[in-house]
Amino acid sequence: MRIAISGGMGFEEKLLSILKNFNIILVGAGYNLKSESFGSFKNVEFFSEFLTHNYLETFSDVDIFIDISQSNKSKYLISDFKAYYGKKCYLVFYENDWKIAVLSTKNAHFSFVKPYIKSIPFIALPGINLDNLMDFFLLEKDNFDKKEDFIFEIDKKEKIQLNFENFNIENYGFEFMNGQIADIVSVSCSDNSVAISPMNEVFIDLSTHKKYVSNFSKILKENPFFLEFKIEKYRVVLFRQGRVIVKGTKEKNTALFIYYNFIGN
C-alpha cells in the first residue's frame, strides 16, 4: 500500500515509525528556517518542497493520503486528490479543537465538512495531543482498507460519523486541484525578496493579526494598509488584501514556511 503524506507539523518521524511497513511518499516536512532547507528522511521517497496542485500525476498510484501540514489549503488539495482518484484521506485540522477528518467514500470531501475560509496563523493554534494522535494512527493503520467517513476528536478520543448521501462529488469543481485557489509565489528579480499572492479574495484584519504574531515576532511598522514584522532575520510585510512580501531571501520555501506559520492561508 502506497501512502502520500503532506508534512510540516513536526511529528513526521513519529508517524513514519508507525507506518514503517508501508511505501511512503513524504512532501514538505522538516523545514529549517535558519538554514533555509528541508530535513532528510530515511526509507521514504521525499520531496523537498511544499505541496502544490502539480503533484496530481505524482500521486496517481497512491492509496492513502495524509495531511499533517501547517497549510490550510493543503487539506482541501489533498481532499481533491482523494476524490479524484477515489481513494481515502486523513486530514489533521483545527476547529475549536484538534480533529482528524477520515474520508473514504465516493462523495466524501473536506469542503462538505468544513467549507473553506482562510485560516489563522498556525503559530496561533494550541498544541496537539501527540500521544492521542499517534495512538489513533497505530490502530487505524489496520483499517486503511475500510470504507468509513468520520471525524475523530483527538483530545476526547471520540468518533463522529459522517454521512455524504446528500452530496454528489460530480458537481464539485476541484478548485484546489485545478490551481484556481492557489497561492502564487513570485521571486523578485530586482531585490532579495519573495512575494506570495492568494488567488482567492482575502481581507485581513491587521489589528487582529498583530495580536497573533506579536508574541513570536517584532512589530516594525503598521498602518491601515499593511503590517510589517520580523521573523528571525526576515522582514515580513502583510497587506490587508492578503498579499505578503518576505524580505531577506530568494528561497520560495522560506517564504511559504513563514506564510503558513505566521500568516495562514
Assign residue 252 the CATH number of its domain: 3.30.310.10
In a domain, 177, yes or no: no
End-to-end CA distance of the chain: 31
Same domain, 105 and 204: no
pLDDT in tens, the chain (265 residues): 999 999 999 999 999 999 999 999 999 999 999 999 999 999 999 999 999 999 999 999 999 999 999 999 999 999 999 999 999 999 999 999 999 999 999 999 999 999 999 999 999 999 999 999 999 999 999 999 999 999 999 999 999 999 999 999 988 999 999 999 999 999 999 899 999 999 998 999 999 999 999 989 999 999 999 999 999 999 999 999 999 999 999 999 999 999 999 999 9
Same domain, 167 and 230: no
In a domain, 178, yes or no: no
Q: Is the dihedral of CA 120, 237, 39, 177 positive or negative?
A: positive
Nearest by Cα to 243 from 195, 201, 194: 195
End of a domain among 151, 171, 191? 171
Same domain, 236 and 256: yes
Same domain, 158 and 188: no
Nearest by Cα to 122 from 75, 65, 192, 178: 75
Same domain, 142 and 232: no
Nearest by Cα to 176 from 72, 258, 257, 59: 72
211 alpha-carbon distance from chain centroid:
22
pLDDT score of 139 = 96
Name every residue whose Cβ is closer than 8 Å to that of residue 68 and which is 6 or more positions away in sequence.
5, 6, 7, 8, 9, 11, 12, 15, 92
Same domain, 139 and 62: yes
Amino acid identity, position 226: F
Same domain, 107 and 148: yes
Same domain, 165 and 187: no
CA–CA separation, 175 and 142 (whole Å):
32
List the Cα angle 44/121/47 in 5-degree steps.
20
Element (H, E) at 197: strand 193-198
In a domain, 205, yes or no: yes
Query: What's the CATH number where 27 sits?
Result: 3.40.50.720
Number of helical (H) and strand (E) elements in the chain, helices listed first: 6, 16
pLDDT score of 171 = 87
End of a domain among 110, 138, 171? 171
57: how many CB neighbours lie within 10 A of its CB? Answer: 7
Instruction: Domain of residue 229: give its range.
Output: 183-262
Same domain, 15 and 140: yes
- Residue 217 pairs in a beta bridge with none
Phi, psi of 146 (to 5 degrees): -80, 135
In a domain, 198, yes or no: yes
Q: What is the DSSP letter of 54?
A: G
CA–CA separation, 12 and 41 (whole Å):
9
| pTM higher than the cut 0.85 | yes
Phi, psi of 7 (to 5 degrees): -100, -175
Q: Are strands 88-95 and 193-198 parallel, antiparallel or unpaired?
A: unpaired
Same domain, 167 and 225: no
Same domain, 32 and 160: yes
Average pLDDT across the chain, whole number: 95
The tally of domains found in the chain comes to: 2
